[in-house]
Amino acid sequence: MKIGMLTSGGDCQSLNASMRGVAKTLYNNLKDVEIIGFHEGYKGLMYGEYHTMEPKDFSGILTQGGTIIGTSRQPFKLMGTPDANGMDKVEAMKKTYKKLGLECLVILGGNGTHKTANLLSEQGLNVVTLPKTIDNDIWGTDITFGFQSAVDIATSAIDCIHTTAASHGRVFIVEVMGHKVGWLTLHAGVAGGADIILLPEIPYDIDKVVKAIQKRTEEGKRFSILAVAEGAISKEDAALSKKELKKKRAKTQYPSISYEVGAEIEKRTGQEVRVTIPGHTQRGGGPCPYDRVISTRFGSAAAELILNKEYGYMVGMKNGEIVKVPLGEVAGKLKMVEPDSSFIHEIKNLGISFGD
């Protein structure tokens, strides 16, 4: 049996651990299996850039971050657009798949990756996917690998800010990754003891953000910490059309939303504000133990689908149990934080402000 494997989109912790789970399960259950690793995601599948992987390639990578076969971003919206040489990308991927005589293509990636995976499945290729993203926003699974490792790093950043914020009596903003969804910011903000958490799903009122800070000052608290998602948005901006918002942001003087929020806080309170951006450190380093465990389970379950010739599914997790989710149900959907959820209600009861 010949299996193709690729990692697509932004890298994260546990990609290697997940591939290891797939490979070890296949090697353990089949006498004759060949795994082809495509270089840099869908790009390798398009241009026939790959190598045959050996069992030794999957040894010692459980704790290793990144991806041993490389990755790249290939936007789904451009899949129907020929490349610079006029090549049909989808047809090229199908051609490589058939030329190599693959039984199945194992794809590890996030939302955009799953759109393309579903497209290939609809085009007749045997596909099995695994949910990778630090954003935890893939539909059909309670958890994605990479998420908990990123939460740990973002939380550590907030933890480190506490001492300097307390020492100087300043307002600190820690900007956490997450353009469209706020799971990472929400978890890190709660775990790190942030006083204010701003998420893309809950548009904020800057007056209420300032009021929350002033309330802390009146209570004798010398500092405040905000966990702000990079996709956080004000109520005023949320009311704009996409075209209007894009035009407004093109004129902004601020490098990110955190600096805009910080400038407003300084202007209205007179307090010093500092912004810290952990950035790509949230994607880096080795996977935490939790991610190593779920990645191993995801990988093993994906291999089992292949052994049973069950294709067109993403491996996910619901209530602690592995599930298989049809790719058609996953593609094009986002799992977002629900503003009216019990989670948000419980955190608000603590006195933490979401600026709404």
pLDDT score of 149 more than 90: yes
pLDDT at site 231: 96
Cα 232 to chain centroid, rounded? 16
**Residue positions counted in the chain:** 356
Fold adopted by 148-283: Rossmann fold (3.40.50)
The owner of tokens 């209205």 is 268
Q: Where are the alpha helices (DSSP H) in 5-88?
A: 15-29, 42-47
| Strand partners for 275 | 173
Q: Each residue of 90-116: pLDDT tens digit?
A: 999 999 999 999 999 999 999 999 999
pLDDT at site 310: 98
CA atoms within 13 A on the CB side of 289: 0
Range of weakest confidence among 30-44, 169-183, 237-251: 237-251
**Strands, sheet with 171-176, edge to edge from the N-terminal-most edge strand:** 196-198, 224-229, 171-176, 273-276
Q: From 120, 96, 103, 119, select the one nearest 38 (Cα to Cα).
A: 96
* Domain(s) of CATH 3.40.50.450: residues in the chain: 2-146+287-330
Cα 16 to chain centroid, rounded? 16
pLDDT at site 79: 92
- Cβ 58 vs Cβ 24: under 8 Å: yes
* Domain(s) of CATH 3.40.50.460: residues in the chain: 148-283
Q: From 47, 124, 112, 20, select the one nearest 75 (Cα to Cα).
A: 112
Active site (annotated) includes residue 135 = yes
Instruction: Name the strand (E) or helix (H) holding 308.
Output: none
Q: Each residue of 3-29: pLDDT tens digit?
A: 999 999 999 999 999 999 999 999 999
What backbone torsions phi and psi does residue 108 show, to the nearest 5 degrees? -115, 120
> Which residues, at least 6 apart from 349, have a Cβ–Cβ distance to it below 8 Å?
none
3-state secondary structure (DSSP) of residue 181: coil
Q: Over the chain, what is the mean pLDDT?
A: 96
Catalytic option among 11, 32, 88, 135: 135
Q: Each residue of 207-266: pLDDT tens digit?
A: 999 999 999 999 999 999 999 999 999 999 999 999 999 998 888 999 999 999 999 999
Q: Each residue of 270-286: pLDDT tens digit?
A: 999 999 999 999 999 99
Confidence of residue 2 (pLDDT cuts 50, 70, 90): very high
Q: Each residue of 318-340: pLDDT tens digit?
A: 999 999 999 999 999 999 999 99
In this prediction, residues 72-78 reach a mean pLDDT of: 92
Confidence of residue 269 (pLDDT cuts 50, 70, 90): very high
CATH 3.30.450.40 fits 2-146+287-330, yes or no: no
- Cβ 292 vs Cβ 12: under 8 Å: no
